[in-house]
C-alpha cells in the first residue's frame, strides 16, 4: 500500500473547486503533527488556509512556481522555529512530505511551493511576504506552502525505467 502511494504521488498544479472536507484537513494536520523530528523538538508550525482571497495573495509569494495556489481550495503553510532546532529545515521538510503522502492517500493532489530562500520581489523575500500576510511572528521562518485539493489533472506514475539508478552506489561512491 505504501509503495503504491509513493509511485502514484505526483505534483498536482490544477485543482477542482471542490472544498477539502474538514475531516480530511484534520487527518492531514494529525499526520503533520506525528512526523518525525530530530530529538523530538518539533520545531514546525502550520497555518491552514482555506480562504480564497488569502490563497490568491499567497499565490503571489514569488514570481514563478506559486500561481497555481490561487486555484487550490486549501493551502498549508509550513513554518519552522530556528531557535528551537538547528535542523528545522529538515524537520519541516519531513512534515511537508508526510502531508503530501497523506493527501495522496485521501484522494487529494498536492504540490510543494518553495518559500525559504526565494524572493517575492527585489526588496522583499518570499518569507517576509508570507509572514506579513499571515501575521507570523519574526522567530518563525516559512519553509514552504503546500497547495492541496482534488486534482483536475491526471498524471501517470513515473515509469520505473525513468528512475535514475546510476545515482545509487553500494558501499562507496563510484563514477
- pLDDT beyond 90 at 19: yes
Q: Give the model's confidence band at 132: pLDDT under 50 very low, under 70 low, under 90 confident, else very high.
A: very high
173 belongs to a structural domain: no
Contact between 91 and 81 (Cβ < 8 Å): no
pLDDT (mean) for 44-69? 98
Q: Enter the C-alpha cell of residue 56.
A: 490568491
pLDDT at 47: 98
**Count of domains in the chain?**
1
Radius of gyration of the chain (CA): 17
Strand partners, 132: none
Contact between 77 and 71 (Cβ < 8 Å): no
Burial of residue 18, with CB atoms counted within 10 A of its CB: 0-12 exposed, 13-18 middle, 19 or more buried: exposed
CATH number at residue 9: 3.40.109.10
pLDDT at 72: 98
Whole-angstrom Cα distance, residue 15 to residue 50?
A: 13
Residue 93 domain boundaries: 2-167
77 belongs to a structural domain: yes
pLDDT at 175: 83
Amino acid at each position: 500500500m505504501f509503495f503504491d502511494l509513493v509511485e502514484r504521488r505526483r505534483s498536482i498544479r490544477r485543482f477542482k473547486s471542490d472544498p477539502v472536507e474538514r475531516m480530511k484537513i484534520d487527518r492531514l494536520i494529525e499526520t503533520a503533527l506525528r512526523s518525525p523530528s530530530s530529538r523530538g523538538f518539533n520545531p514546525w508550525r502550520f497555518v491552514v488556509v482555506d480562504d480564497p482571497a488569502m490563497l490568491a495573495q499567497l499565490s503571489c509569494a514569488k514570481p514563478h512556481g506559486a500561481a497555481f495556489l490561487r486555484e487550490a481550495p486549501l493551502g498549508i503553510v509550513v513554518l519552522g522555529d530556528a531557535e528551537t532546532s538547528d535542523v528545522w529545515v529538515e524537520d519541516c521538510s519531513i512534515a511537508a512530505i508526510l502531508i503530501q503522502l497523506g493527501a495522496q492517500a485521501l484522494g487529494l493532489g498536492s504540490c510543494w511551493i518553495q518559500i525559504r530562500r526565494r524572493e517575492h520581489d527585489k526588496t522583499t523575500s518570499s518569507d517576509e511576504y508570507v509572514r506579513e500576510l499571515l501575521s507570523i511572528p519574526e522567530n518563525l521562518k516559512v519553509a514552504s506552502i503546500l497547495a492541496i485539493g482534488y486534482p483536475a489533472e491526471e498524471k501517470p506514475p513515473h515509469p520505473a525505467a525513468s528512475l535514475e539508478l546510476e545515482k545509487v552506489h553500494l558501499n562507496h561512491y563510484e563514477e
